[in-house]
A and B are shown apart, each in its own frame.
Chain A
């Protein structure tokens, strides 16, 4: 059974689904939707099978597949998953069906403008989502740096079209209209343009340029890695297991300078994707302009590739450089945490607010990764899952809210609780998850990250803990302004959640509670992988001053 290419199949299935969905005739939009949903559910089943076939604590990379691909350059088609990858593939596979359901009508053709009969945005929308899923999955699976790089870059293309092509129908009521008073001169001519389309294409281009720049620098580093391996091993290779193996037996000695430069090249790309302050400014634009489901896809799925890659590539390939750069990265992530939270408080646009909270949360993830403790890294990996689920729950409900009112401005809402209690209630649960209330998933991971950071860097840990107060502020202020108080004009006739929307939100909330109460099944997958990574970077957890546990058991 080991020869069965399960990983390839998991990545290929949504890709095939994308082609099939795109091929559905223009008139049969509903068929296309159900087809895409079926493919995403089938992928979920495969992800489940991966999880059951994987043995936590067994070999480091399991279910491996390895084939020569571009033999002249040592590029191999190598797949393999560790515990973290299994969990993140699961997260991706779980979220995509919800994203599709939530965006069920986002790409419907408006009867008013239909250029020609062959125009079929619906098919495109769902096909692109499936395409993104396929690429993200294979990026999680790949153990060959070059293979990873290709899909890391390639996923920008469908994302670009999803952001630029399918805007939010919230009309002209966005932050930017309001924010004109914040800046005398608009920074780019594109912004001054009339209408949402220009805003949207500005956001999409910004997304693309930022990430392409990161990718370009990474490409240089990838080539550098090839040169180094070619020098050291006699044949260039991009294979992660081969490089790790060579280092373990002492055949790889990268000079400190080279290691640092290559590390920085990789890290830059991942930091743009993640995004880390000060490379974050594409995210609020992209998330603000995209529809809520696409915004979820950006922040909950695609961006996870960045933080995942830090764990897998930065730490494992360049342990010394990682330790060297850790202090600076920790400070940057701390800035991200506090800065994102403070900016979230100051936002007037719901979706931009969510984007800034994500920046804050990505700060936590990166903090946990580079704190180099078991708690920090397990926490960071778990945080990726929890952030994905909680942001999805929160932002999708926010999306329902926005599409009902046709506005993203916080001031356009008020008293929603009175007219749509279910919507308000689910929004509240999502909000509480975001502020990491104990009992819901994010608390566990946030606390692990904080403890992990604190045990090595007490001051950083304390400063990061301030963010829990800031999180309460931005979340509750938003809830108070939109949901409570007297019912505002334009809200009176707001409908409560429909069945389809409940199907989206209900399971996500259940998942949040499950992750908060019993995260052990997930940590079982994560812990062995984190242990391996920590031994790669030659770090062990700081020992407590008084080992009370040992003393108790000794008694």
Chain B
């Protein structure tokens, strides 16, 4: 059974290989090959899951050693896998949601001439992501880590002819690389501290390392997590990443890849547990991002960017939970799974809306779509209810637990973190209701624009229509997940018991009773909902965005993150490289060329002595001879 773990990664990798090197012959069936291999991977995952359920205790962890990868003296990197409950959860999420999104893409990318490549990249992503969660050591994890970064780069920039897409892809990769740098240094510190970077020994002996080393490793891992999971301060790439096709946004930038940071922190729990400073930093990053993403999400008119802000914010919740230590790990992962369902569903819904609206993304040009796209409306609506934490739906179960855990941290920290989490829930309700109302309710605002744009190019009138079955079926399945997953996990705390052996769990002590917190969450939620309805439901949405307050304008520009990066990093960097290019020419090369030129000048002068007149040569000969004689005489005199 253990050998199958390799096949889990192998199937989509094979798919990527076939699709990317197969050439045009495969254009007609390529997408089905991609779907098939994703499904195969999912089937293997289910098989392994069943097998795992049949075992108990420590026997549930399966390992599979493939081959020795880089053996150099004490540096022993292996390609070997470890499948425990935590990895299993991810495997099922990745392959399950992945397969659904593959199927969705068949319809979504139907008219794209490079559909085969698209599926090749998707398969590549699956393989890399599975490698990431299945690796039994940090270096192999790093391979998957960069691999998903590559897939993300390729897919964001899939429509390369659009300069904005190419720029966004490059930006995503480079910002991620900053995080990757943190992760790779963390691996180096582990190697020098523990002599290995395999999960088992490192985590088992984490407590015997010095506090400084542990804090260092923790912060470096956090940097890595920030890059991949779009957490402050490396969050700027996620909004731009929405340039990619929508299935990509659903799979990579909502459900799976961006949650890799949460996986990393949970996996390295033993290190973080022993390094409170690093843990505190994790919670702070989570809390800040939670608010940051939510605020950005409130101001965006682009439906995908609003959802991207939301993703950032929800991952902030997970990071926050993971930073709380054993009281939060399980809930971080639980929220991660439920979020995988409803956020993927929301993105697919957004894709379906765009599909019907000539790829229009501006919500101010939507409105009243519920009658035109009923299935999309219902599935999107269920996802919406799940994300805001409507009682009974998935998001309610997982998010509520995180808020409780944050309060349970205790002390002032607990109150602040809990308060932020609670506030975040309110803002979530506000921006998601805003998205919902602007898209599916109110008057229809499309179709007017052609008349309103004097002299503009007459655009074809959108004819909103429901998407084909390949697209709606995945949406329906995900909607089921959004509704029931959270509840299912909470029956008898089954999810808790499932993950506890890997992550550990302690119950926190709440400063107030759980009921009070639950009630407070509902009140905040209602306030957010009400505010949104007052602004976007009761009154008509203007087709052109009003100027808005200072905060709104800043939020539209992603709270000035890009401006900051531009002023603080990009511009100085440009000056630096230009200056160096100049210096290389004038100083380093100049010194050498200067030497050459002065030698040349000297020889030019010396050449003038060689005038060809025999007499002058004779004089110099006699002069030289006379000098020699004189010198000899003088020397004898001394």
Cα of A4 to Cα of B72 in the assembled complex, Å: 33
Q: Are B195 and A281 in contact (CB under 8 A)?
A: no
- The yes or no answer to A342 lying at the interface (CB within 8 A) is yes
Cα of A555 to Cα of B75 in the assembled complex, Å: 21
Partner among B163, B173, B205 whose Cβ is within 8 Å of the Cβ of A551 = B205
B404-420 CB mask vs A (1 if < 8 Å, else 0) is: 00000000000000000
B116-160 CB mask vs A (1 if < 8 Å, else 0) is: 000000000000000000000001001101110010010001001
Q: Are B70 and A343 in contact (CB under 8 A)?
A: no
Partner among A347, A480, A518, A519 whose Cβ is within 8 Å of the Cβ of B166 = A480
Cα of A520 to Cα of B71 in the assembled complex, Å: 7
Q: Are A468 and B173 in contact (CB under 8 A)?
A: no
- Asked if A346 meets B577 with Cβ closer than 8 Å, knowing A448-B70, A545-B210, A551-B205, the reply is yes
Q: Which residues of B contact A179 (CB under 8 A)?
A: 581, 585
- Asked if A447 meets B184 with Cβ closer than 8 Å, knowing A545-B193, A547-B195, the reply is yes
Q: Are A477 and B170 in contact (CB under 8 A)?
A: yes
Cα of A461 to Cα of B192 in the assembled complex, Å: 12
Q: Are B192 and A545 in contact (CB under 8 A)?
A: yes
Partner among A450, A479, A546 whose Cβ is within 8 Å of the Cβ of B194 = A546
| Nearest-CB residue, chain B, relative to A344 | B577
Q: Are A518 and B184 in contact (CB under 8 A)?
A: no
A541-555 CB mask vs B (1 if < 8 Å, else 0) is: 111111111111000
Main secondary structure of the interface of A (DSSP, over half): helix
| Nearest-CB residue, chain A, relative to B192 | A455
Q: Are B73 and A374 in contact (CB under 8 A)?
A: yes
Partner among B69, B178, B581 whose Cβ is within 8 Å of the Cβ of A343 = B581
Cα of A472 to Cα of B596 in the assembled complex, Å: 36
- The yes or no answer to B174 lying at the interface (CB within 8 A) is yes
Which residues 157-184 in B have Cβ within 8 Å of A in the complex? 157, 160-163, 165-167, 169-170, 173-174, 177-178, 180-181, 184
Counting contact residues on chain A (CB < 8 A from B), the size range is: 35 or more
Which residues 574-605 in B have Cβ within 8 Å of A in the complex? 576-578, 580-582, 584-586, 588-590, 592-594, 596-597
- The yes or no answer to B59 lying at the interface (CB within 8 A) is no
B181-193 CB mask vs A (1 if < 8 Å, else 0) is: 1001101110111
Q: Are B577 and A375 in contact (CB under 8 A)?
A: no
- The yes or no answer to B209 lying at the interface (CB within 8 A) is yes
- Asked if A523 meets B193 with Cβ closer than 8 Å, knowing A187-B589, A345-B577, A486-B163, the reply is no
Q: Are A476 and B170 in contact (CB under 8 A)?
A: yes
Q: Are A183 and B166 in contact (CB under 8 A)?
A: no
Cα of A209 to Cα of B573 in the assembled complex, Å: 34
Cα of A439 to Cα of B638 in the assembled complex, Å: 78
- The yes or no answer to A484 lying at the interface (CB within 8 A) is yes
Cα of A548 to Cα of B163 in the assembled complex, Å: 49
Which residues 342-385 in A have Cβ within 8 Å of B in the complex? 342-343, 345-347, 374-375, 378-379
Least Cβ distance of A542 to chain B in Å? Answer: 7
- The yes or no answer to A403 lying at the interface (CB within 8 A) is no
Cα of A472 to Cα of B227 in the assembled complex, Å: 14
Q: Which residues of A contact B160 (CB under 8 A)?
A: 417-418, 483-485
Q: Are B195 and A549 in contact (CB under 8 A)?
A: yes
Which residues 490-531 in A have Cβ within 8 Å of B in the complex? 517-520, 523, 526-527, 530-531
Which residues 208-259 in A have Cβ within 8 Å of B in the complex? 209-210
Cα of A444 to Cα of B143 in the assembled complex, Å: 10
- The yes or no answer to B513 lying at the interface (CB within 8 A) is no
- The yes or no answer to A73 lying at the interface (CB within 8 A) is no
- Asked if A455 meets B201 with Cβ closer than 8 Å, knowing A281-B592, A439-B143, A523-B71, the reply is no
A438-452 CB mask vs B (1 if < 8 Å, else 0) is: 110001100110110
- The yes or no answer to A188 lying at the interface (CB within 8 A) is yes
- The yes or no answer to B111 lying at the interface (CB within 8 A) is no
Q: Are A546 and B209 in contact (CB under 8 A)?
A: yes
- The yes or no answer to B87 lying at the interface (CB within 8 A) is no
Q: Which residues of A contact B205 (CB under 8 A)?
A: 546, 548, 551
Q: Are A374 and B192 in contact (CB under 8 A)?
A: no
Partner among A188, A469, A517, A518 whose Cβ is within 8 Å of the Cβ of B178 = A469
Q: Which residues of B contact A530 (CB under 8 A)?
A: 72
Q: Are B72 and A432 in contact (CB under 8 A)?
A: no
Q: Are B584 and A281 in contact (CB under 8 A)?
A: yes
Q: Which residues of B contact A438 (CB under 8 A)?
A: 142-143, 145-147
Least Cβ distance of A506 to chain B in Å? Answer: 9
Q: Which residues of B contact A339 (CB under 8 A)?
A: 580
Q: Are B593 and A188 in contact (CB under 8 A)?
A: yes
Cα of A518 to Cα of B205 in the assembled complex, Å: 30
Least Cβ distance of A86 to chain B in Å? Answer: 17
Q: Are A469 and B75 in contact (CB under 8 A)?
A: no
Cα of A210 to Cα of B589 in the assembled complex, Å: 12
- The yes or no answer to A462 lying at the interface (CB within 8 A) is yes
- Asked if A541 meets B597 with Cβ closer than 8 Å, knowing A187-B590, A547-B195, the reply is no
Q: Which residues of A contact B584 (CB under 8 A)?
A: 281, 343
Chain B interface residue count, CB cutoff 8 Å, equals 71
Q: Are B577 and A548 in contact (CB under 8 A)?
A: no
Partner among B178, B188, B588 whose Cβ is within 8 Å of the Cβ of A455 = B188
Partner among A345, A451, A552 whose Cβ is within 8 Å of the Cβ of B200 = A552
Cα of A346 to Cα of B589 in the assembled complex, Å: 16
Cα of A311 to Cα of B208 in the assembled complex, Å: 38
| Nearest-CB residue, chain A, relative to B150 | A437
Partner among B67, B72, B585 whose Cβ is within 8 Å of the Cβ of A374 = B72
Least Cβ distance of B202 to chain A in Å? Answer: 6
A275-306 CB mask vs B (1 if < 8 Å, else 0) is: 00110110000000000000000000000000
Q: Which residues of B contact A182 (CB under 8 A)?
A: 581-582, 585
Q: Which of B72, B75, B193 has the most CB of A within 10 A?
A: B72
- The yes or no answer to B204 lying at the interface (CB within 8 A) is yes
B100-117 CB mask vs A (1 if < 8 Å, else 0) is: 000000000000000000
- Asked if A544 meets B181 with Cβ closer than 8 Å, knowing A187-B597, A343-B581, A345-B577, the reply is no
Q: Which residues of A contact B70 (CB under 8 A)?
A: 444, 447-448, 519-520, 523
Q: Are B597 and A188 in contact (CB under 8 A)?
A: yes
Q: Are A469 and B174 in contact (CB under 8 A)?
A: yes
| Nearest-CB residue, chain B, relative to A486 | B161
Partner among B166, B177, B577 whose Cβ is within 8 Å of the Cβ of A485 = B166
Q: Are A187 and B194 in contact (CB under 8 A)?
A: no
Partner among A415, A468, A543 whose Cβ is within 8 Å of the Cβ of B177 = A468
Q: Which residues of A contact B202 (CB under 8 A)?
A: 548
- The yes or no answer to B620 lying at the interface (CB within 8 A) is no
Q: Which residues of B contact A476 (CB under 8 A)?
A: 153, 170, 173-174
Q: Which residues of B contact A347 (CB under 8 A)?
A: 581
A159-187 CB mask vs B (1 if < 8 Å, else 0) is: 00000000000000000000100110001
- The yes or no answer to B492 lying at the interface (CB within 8 A) is no
Q: Are A484 and B174 in contact (CB under 8 A)?
A: no
Q: Are B593 and A187 in contact (CB under 8 A)?
A: yes
Cα of A249 to Cα of B196 in the assembled complex, Å: 37
- The yes or no answer to B493 lying at the interface (CB within 8 A) is no
Q: Which residues of A contact B589 (CB under 8 A)?
A: 187, 281
Q: Which residues of A contact B142 (CB under 8 A)?
A: 438
Partner among A374, A437, A551 whose Cβ is within 8 Å of the Cβ of B75 = A374
Q: Are A342 and B163 in contact (CB under 8 A)?
A: no
Q: Which 6 A-B pairs have the closest CB atoms?
A: A544-B195, A187-B593, A346-B577, A374-B73, A484-B166, A548-B201
12 contacts between A and B (CB under 8 A): A375-B73, A437-B147, A450-B184, A451-B191, A458-B192, A487-B161, A518-B69, A519-B70, A527-B73, A541-B73, A551-B205, A552-B201
A residues near B (Cβ < 8 Å) are: 179, 182-183, 187-188, 209-210, 277-278, 280-281, 339, 342-343, 345-347, 374-375, 378-379, 415, 417-418, 432, 437-439, 443-444, 447-448, 450-451, 454-455, 458, 461-462, 465-466, 468-469, 472-473, 476-477, 479-480, 483-487, 517-520, 523, 526-527, 530-531, 541-552
User: What 15 additional pairs, Cβ within 8 angstroms, besides A544-B191, A545-B192, A545-B213?
Assistant: A209-B596, A375-B73, A375-B75, A461-B188, A469-B178, A472-B177, A473-B174, A541-B73, A544-B192, A546-B195, A546-B205, A546-B209, A548-B204, A549-B194, A552-B204
